[in-house]
């Protein structure tokens, strides 16, 4: 993407043409529009306007609304936030200023994060002072858009909430010891390279046809 001076990329997502795109600004506004309102362009194109911003404002999150059962969790720099059903974010035209996502106030400060969550998810919050908190989404009250929210994390004087992310658990399964194939070079009793092997392939051991088997001095002359 070709960026103007002072602009920078804040998000990218793979879509299939059947969903809505949501943009959130640090001024606590949100816009939702059909992704087909953004026409396909080449890599080097500048793109089209997704959201109208006042001077000094910036977009802080881009989400792809895939399910109406999800909620949007918004968080502010002073540690407050809330969950709002995604259905409360109605479609607006692309390029507009959007709608209120959370009430702005001196208590809340600017919006620093917006993520899509499910009730059984967990989130991680981190402050500029290095404090990290992990909590369950279900513990964050679900509220309407035009509300101030509740305390997500207590921030110390001089600190701000700097980020919020949904915790994604790994789907990798660990193999049990019974699922790990054995090394044939170490466990095969018939391995002729093993000097301690009891395999019949060893001509000097346990061969009933060997006349020296029961005579430590070897065969005798008749």
pLDDT, tens digit, 9 for 90 and up, residues 8-39:
887 888 888 889 999 999 999 999 999 999 88
What is the total residue count of the chain? Answer: 222
SS3 210: coil
Name the nearest CA neighbour of 109 among 74, 138, 142, 85: 74
pLDDT for 102 equals: 95
SS3 192: coil
In order of their start, the domains of the chain are 20-166 (2.120.10.90)
Cα(24)–Cα(153) distance, rounded to whole angstroms?
A: 21
pLDDT, tens digit, 9 for 90 and up, residues 48-103:
888 999 999 999 999 999 888 999 999 999 999 999 999 999 998 898 999 999 99
DSSP tag of 28:
S
pLDDT for 221 equals: 46
Least confident of 146-150, 169-173, 211-215: 211-215
Q: What pTM value is reported for the model?
A: 0.71
Cα(80)–Cα(78) distance, rounded to whole angstroms?
A: 6
pLDDT, tens digit, 9 for 90 and up, residues 172-201:
444 333 444 445 444 554 555 555 445 444
Structure tokens at 178: 């019974």
The 10 Å Cβ neighbour count of residue 36 is 13
Cα within 13 Å of Cα(96), Cβ side: 14
Q: 157 CB contacts (<8 Å, ≥6 apart)?
A: none
């Amino acid at each position: 993407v070709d960026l103007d001076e002072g602009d920078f990329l804040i998000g990218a997502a793979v879509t299939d043409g059947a969903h809505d795109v949501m943009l959130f600004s640090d001024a606590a506004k949100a816009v939702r529009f059909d992704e087909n309102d953004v026409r396909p362009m080449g890599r080097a194109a500048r793109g089209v306007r997704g959201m109208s911003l006042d001077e000094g404002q910036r977009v802080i999150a881009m989400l792809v609304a895939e399910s109406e059962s999800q909620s949007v969790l918004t968080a502010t720099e002073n540690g407050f936030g809330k969950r709002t059903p995604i259905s409360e974010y109605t479609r607006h035209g692309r390029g507009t200023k959007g709608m209120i996502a959370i009430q702005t106030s001196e208590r809340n400060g600017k919006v620093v994060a917006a993520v899509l969550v499910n009730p059984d998810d967990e989130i991680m919050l981190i402050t500029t002072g290095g404090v990290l908190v992990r909590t369950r989404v279900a513990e964050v009250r679900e509220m309407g858009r035009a509300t101030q929210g509740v305390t997500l994390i207590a921030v110390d004087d001089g600190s701000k909430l700097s980020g919020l992310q949904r915790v994604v658990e790994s789907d990798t399964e660990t193999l049990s010891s019974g699922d790990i194939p054995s090394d044939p070079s170490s466990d095969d009793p018939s391995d002729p390279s093993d000097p301690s092997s009891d395999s019949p392939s060893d001509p000097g051991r346990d061969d009933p046809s060997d006349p020296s088997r029961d005579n430590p001095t070897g065969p005798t002359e008749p």
